[in-house]
């Protein structure tokens, strides 16, 4: 068994799935990279050339300690620092739902890389509907905030994201869903708490 198939215990199952979609020796940009766990794993297991973008001071320090190159910047300001097709893959993990300008960040991802990978909480998870029927906004593991202090401003279901991707001409090439660390294969729209999508940019042209 090689390194790419064995992840350290601290690497979440959804990050392992994301890593499986990234080619060895490729160029990767991780938006909202947090403590650098994904990029460090990719650097060690797939020899990627990676960079992260992160705003939080403590997360930036943690990323640097993991050996990850990181730029401290607010994603809402866009990706103007990066050239067209500068990367092979750009990742936005568990951050899409907190972006004010969802379409803009997806277009920018499609501009700077051939492939984009996004993950977000699945608002279609069945307990959410039950909470709403009871007159309450859902509070769950993937969405642990109360309605008045949540950073999640654009919640969606799997179908909602697929429709948006289609409207932006982003071709979905891979999809996986999770409930905790378990990958969900049956009725993912109802049973999963987290969705992960990989798409190909419509702007990519072979050189």
pLDDT, tens digit (0-9, with 9 covering 90-100), for 47-105: 999 999 999 999 999 999 999 999 999 998 879 999 999 999 999 999 999 899 999 99
**Residue tagged 């300008």 (tokens):** 101
Say whether pTM exceeds 0.85.
Answer: yes
8-51 pLDDT tens trace: 777 899 999 999 999 999 999 999 999 999 999 999 999 999 99
To which CATH superfamily is domain 3-200 assigned? Answer: Vaccinia Virus protein VP39 (3.40.50.150)
Give the count of beta carbons closer than 10 Å to the beta carbon of residue 45. Answer: 20
Asked if pLDDT for residue 154 goes beyond 90, the answer is: no
| Distance in angstroms (rounded) separating the CA atoms of residues 21 and 135 | 40
Residue ranges per domain, the chain?
3-200
Asked if pLDDT for residue 1 goes beyond 50, the answer is: no
Nearest in space to 88 (alpha carbons), one of 111, 114, 65: 114
């Amino acid at each position: 068994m090689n390194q790419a198939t064995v992840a350290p215990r601290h690497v979440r199952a959804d990050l392992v799935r994301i890593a499986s979609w990234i080619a060895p020796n490729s160029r990767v940009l991780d938006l909202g990279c947090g403590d650098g766990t994904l990029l460090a794993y990719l650097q060690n297991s797939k020899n990627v050339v990676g960079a992260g973008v992160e705003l939080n001071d403590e997360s930036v320090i943690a990323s640097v300690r993991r050996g990850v190159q990181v730029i401290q910047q607010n994603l809402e300001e866009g990706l103007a620092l990066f050239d067209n097709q500068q990367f092979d893959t750009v990742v936005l993990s568990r951050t899409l739902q907190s972006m004010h300008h969802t379409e803009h960040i997806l277009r920018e991802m499609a501009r700077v890389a051939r492939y984009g990978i996004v993950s977000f909480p699945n608002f279609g998870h069945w307990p959410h509907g039950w909470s709403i029927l009871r007159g309450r906004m859902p509070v769950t593991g993937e969405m642990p905030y109360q309605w008045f202090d949540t950073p999640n401003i654009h919640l969606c279901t799997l179908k909602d994201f697929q429709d948006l991707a289609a409207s932006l001409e982003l071709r979905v090439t891979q999809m996986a869903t999770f409930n905790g660390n378990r990958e969900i294969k049956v009725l993912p729209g109802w049973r999963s708490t987290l969705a992960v999508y990989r798409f190909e940019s419509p702007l990519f042209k072979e050189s």
